[in-house]
Amino acid sequence: MDCLFCKIVAGEIPARKLYEDDQLVAFHDIGPQAPVHFLVIPKRHIATLTDLDETDKALAGHLLYTAQQLASEQGCDEGFRLVMNCNELGGQTVGHIHMHVLGQRQLHWPPG
């Protein structure tokens, strides 16, 4: 399958990984939008949020909890933002689910 993030999971494309377990990988974003900006992804290919089903609930919870733990490890205790873009109108550009973790600067609302 021609998926950029599956290739990162497989180690075929290099990435600055900060975490890995049997289900997830986290790595720094190549185009950081904040001093801390990394992505947490499932190792299994899931194209977008609307592809999640009942059986993915535990994985989704694990993704959220891991993002929060890693944000703390990266020094984001004063605040951070989690973002998951879904499909074209949501601004998703890579078709493999990923949670952005942004921190270490003041973030504003609403986003663009």
Residues that bind ligand 5GP (CB under 6 A): 4, 13, 15, 27-31, 85, 91-94
Question: Are the beta carbons of 43 and 9 closer than 8 angstroms?
Answer: yes
What is the distance between the alpha carbons of residues 86 and 12, in angstroms, rounded to a whole number?
25
Catalytic residue status for 100:
no
Overall size of the chain counted in residues: 112
Per CB under 5 A, does 7 bind Zn ion?
Answer: no
Residue 62, contacted partner among ligand 5GP, Zn ion, none, CB below 5-8 A by kind: none
- Smallest gap from Cβ 66 to ligand 5GP, in A, equals 17
Q: Which stretch binds Zn ion (CB under 5 A): 3-11, 20-28, 73-81, 83-91?
A: 3-11
Per CB under 5 A, does 52 bind Zn ion?
Answer: no
Question: Are the beta carbons of 32 and 74 closer than 8 angstroms?
Answer: no
Q: Which is nearer to ligand 5GP, 74 or 85 (CB)?
A: 85
> Residues in the site for Zn ion, rule: CB under 5 A?
3, 5-6, 45, 96
What residues are annotated to the active site? 98
